[in-house]
């Protein structure tokens, strides 16, 4: 096992077991420096080290979230007069946005982030497209709502990659935004100023990172996308870039009708690759899928939201066989459990193929471990942070699984991640550390009561204004 000389100021821990290089190893020493990075990992017993009771695994990255949607979960589940779809769900979202204040945004995001932490997400990519007031006007501080997301991340302690979103049109070709989209819209100059402000706001916080998010090819023209990428080169050429792509059949059809190109092919032609996360990619032709796998870009998969919206199935086994990279996200936040996202990636493929254990084809290999390890690597790449493994130089983002939990009890080491992903509906997550700081102890977040009370007041107020 790798080891290193630690700083005298490091805090020493001794885990009953830890996931190291894809294997569950017993009795692991982990030392964390004052900046929250892991400075040493070893197998020698340590006198005076604080014991971590259970299995320590790297915290899972949530690569795609729209935090405000946590408060509207369950409000779009009534059958309409005609077939319901993503597009009818979107109209409910627009009505919800009409009553959302900055204080609401912060309260809902903080509650979401606490829930994510308690379920095993230690970092999150916030795809943030809410910028203006309900009338579409900028706030006195145009970065007001972005700062509310930062405040929520600070209160909860979760690692954050903030992805301010560029949204300018309602359809391919630059059609004018609809009234329901007025809270999202920024011109190029306003977007550049916002990103500049956020560079300063996030600087110096090792738990935060800034990226950018052109919303989609229907909301950003090819020229506007090019200008956003030029801005990235000016601010930080290593910024993660996230974009929705090929989520719905209608989006693909509209893209072909406008340009003769499918969205993912279009983006790959434009240079999407490492440093990019293409979110959803539900509707791909086989050659598109192979191109995406070869590109080095991460496919951002959100199975519970994609199921809730009726988007369709991602071609997971084929994509992985071609060497593709993926991470998972909570998206609309109807679920805040990484296990549920990973489970449904496998289950959707089982249902399509009418077979079992389909995302991992090596004889005897663990499907649960494969899903967890791939989501760790792809998620860390997508959010652009040094996370996703217990090793020197990574952030000390750890999730501790309770080995006495009914889902894990009596399972041998090589079966633990299978049990974590596929056994039961109560989480075995007991403790959670982010950047060297324990935020969840014995299943309780350190500021759970205050954040929860603020959320309850917010949701009850919103309930009086919603249809």
Sequential DSSP letters for 227-269: HHHHHHHHH-TT--EEEEES-SHHHHHHHHHHHSS-HHHHHHH
For residue 214, is pLDDT > 50? yes
Reported as a pLDDT band with limits 50, 70 and 90, residue 362 is confident
Q: Which two tokens stand for residue 228?
A: 């956003």
Comparing 38-52, 85-99, 108-122, 305-319, the range with the smallest average pLDDT is 85-99
Predicted TM-score (pTM) of the model is: 0.96
CA 432, 434, 71 angle in degrees (round to 5)?
75
What is the Cα–Cα distance from 212 to 339, expressed in whole angstroms?
27
Comparing 79-83, 101-105, 211-215, the range with the smallest average pLDDT is 79-83
Class in CATH terms, 60-383:
alpha beta
What is the Cα–Cα distance from 339 to 423, expressed in whole angstroms?
10
User: Taking phi first (over 0 means left), then psi (-120 to 50 degrees means alpha), and beta for anything else, what does residue 373 get?
Assistant: alpha
The answer to whether 327 and 379 are in contact (CB under 8 A) is yes
In the residue annotation, 128 being an active-site residue is answered as no
Number of H helices, E strands in the chain: 14, 17
Q: Which two tokens stand for residue 165?
A: 């979103």
Burial of 49 (0-12, 13-18, 19+ CB in 10 A): middle
Active-site residue, from 280, 283, 405, 454:
280
For residue 85, is pLDDT > 50? yes
- Cα dihedral 115→121→125→126 (10° resolution): 0
Give the β-pairing of 208-210 and 325-328. Answer: unpaired
Secondary structure E strands in 156-315:
159-166, 208-210, 213-214, 241-245, 276-280, 298-301
- Summarised one tens digit per residue, pLDDT across range 431-454 is 999 999 999 999 999 999 999 999
- Portion of the chain with pLDDT greater than 90, in percent: 87
Selecting from 3.30.1180.10, 3.30.450.20, 2.30.40.10, 3.40.47.10, what CATH number does the domain 11-58+398-434 have? 2.30.40.10
- Summarised one tens digit per residue, pLDDT across range 150-197 is 999 999 999 999 999 999 999 999 999 999 999 999 999 999 999 999
Q: Which two tokens stand for residue 61?
A: 């990255």
Query: In the chain, where are the structural domains located?
Result: 11-58+398-434, 60-383
In the residue annotation, 66 being an active-site residue is answered as no
Q: What is the pLDDT of residue 4?
A: 45
In DSSP terms, 331 is beta-bridged to 65
Active-site residue, from 331, 402, 418, 431:
331
């Amino acid at each position: 096992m790798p080891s290193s000389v630690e700083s005298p100021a490091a805090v020493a821990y001794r885990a009953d077991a830890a996931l190291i290089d894809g294997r569950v190893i017993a009795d692991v020493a982990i030392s964390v420096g004052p900046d929250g990075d892991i400075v040493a990992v070893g197998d020698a017993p340590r006198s005076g080290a604080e014991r971590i009771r259970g299995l320590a695994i790297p915290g899972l990255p949530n690569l795609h979230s729209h935090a405000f949607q946590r408060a509207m979960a369950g409000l779009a589940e009534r059958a309409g007069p005609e077939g319901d779809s993503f597009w009818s769900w979107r109209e409910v979202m627009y009505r919800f946005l009409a009553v959302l204040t900055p204080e609401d945004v912060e309260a809902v995001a903080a509650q979401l982030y606490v829930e994510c932490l308690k379920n095993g997400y230690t970092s999150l990519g916030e795809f943030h497209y809410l910028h203006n007031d309900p009338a579409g006007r900028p706030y006195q501080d145009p970065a007001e709502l972005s700062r509310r997301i930062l405040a929520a991340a600070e209160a909860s302690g979760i690692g954050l990659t903030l992805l301010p979103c560029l949204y300018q049109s309602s359809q391919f070709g630059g059609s004018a935004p609809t009234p329901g989209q007025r809270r999202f819209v920024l011109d190029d100059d306003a977007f550049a100023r916002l990103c500049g402000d956020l560079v300063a706001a996030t600087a110096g916080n090792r738990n935060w990172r800034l990226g950018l998010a052109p919303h989609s090819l229907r909301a950003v023209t090819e020229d506007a996308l090019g200008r956003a990428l030029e801005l990235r080169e000016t601010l930080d050429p290593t910024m993660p870039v996230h974009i929705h792509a090929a989520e719905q059949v209608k989006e693909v059809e509209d893209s072909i009708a406008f340009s003769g190109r499918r969205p993912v092919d279009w983006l790959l032609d434009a240079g999407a690759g490492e440093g990019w996360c293409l979110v959803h990619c539900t509707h791909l032709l086989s050659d598109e899928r192979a191109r995406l796998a070869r590109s080095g870009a991460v496919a951002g998969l959100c199975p519970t939201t994609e199921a809730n919206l009726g988007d369709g199935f991602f071609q997971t086994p084929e994509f992985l066989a071609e060497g593709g990279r993926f991470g998972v996200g909570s998206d609309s936040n109807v679920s805040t459990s990484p296990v549920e996202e990973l489970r449904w990636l496998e289950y959707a493929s089982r249902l399509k193929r009418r077979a079992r254990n389909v995302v991992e084809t090596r004889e005897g290999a663990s499907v649960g471990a494969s899903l967890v390890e791939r989501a760790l690597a792809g998620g860390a790449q997508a959010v652009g942070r040094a996370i996703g493994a217990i090793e020197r130089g990574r952030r000390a983002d750890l999730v501790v699984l309770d080995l006495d939990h009914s889902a894990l009890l009596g399972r041998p080491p090589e079966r633990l991640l299978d049990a974590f992903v596929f056994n039961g509906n109560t989480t075995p997550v007991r403790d959670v550390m982010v950047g060297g700081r324990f935020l969840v102890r014995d299943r309780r977040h350190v500021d759970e009561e205050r954040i929860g009370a603020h959320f309850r007041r917010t949701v009850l107020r919103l309930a009086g204004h919603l249809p």
